[in-house]
Amino acid sequence: MKFLYPSNMEAPPIFLLWAGRDALITFLSVPVSLVSAFWLHFSALLVVTVVYGFMTIRFGDITIFSYITKLMRYFISQQQIFLWRRANNEKLV
């Protein structure tokens, strides 16, 4: 019998595309949100469940949510701005 172990033993357990906790939350909330969408005509819970399920998909070590936040930080707030000025009040000739 051969056992396969992950290379990183501290990594969270992965089930399909989600971490264990995220998969449990998603799979338990889908039936509740479907019941609320079809019988109670309240579809906001279904939208929240789908968005949560999408944002917590894992590819390797990163989730889609953390990738989107890194993109937003790069393009909106954390870009480096370089200001050029002359050293020691030099004059251009």
Q: Residue 14's pLDDT is what?
A: 81
- Confidence tier at 74 by pLDDT (50, 70, 90): confident
Closest C-alpha among 74, 76, 56 to residue 66: 56
Confidence band, pLDDT 50/70/90 cuts, at residue 5: low
pTM tops 0.75, yes or no = no
Whole-angstrom Cα distance, residue 23 to residue 89? 61
Angle at 75 between CA 86 and CA 66, to 5 degrees: 135
Percent of the chain clearing pLDDT 70 (strictly above): 75
C-alpha 81/C-alpha 70 separation (Å) is 18
Q: Which helix (H) or strand (E) holds 37?
A: helix 20-38
pLDDT, tens digit, 9 for 90 and up, residues 8-50: 777 777 888 888 899 999 999 999 999 999 999 999 999 999 9
Q: Does residue 85 register a pLDDT over 90?
A: no
**pLDDT, position 20:** 87
In the three-class reduction of DSSP (H, G, I as helix; E, B as strand; rest coil), residue 54 is classed as helix
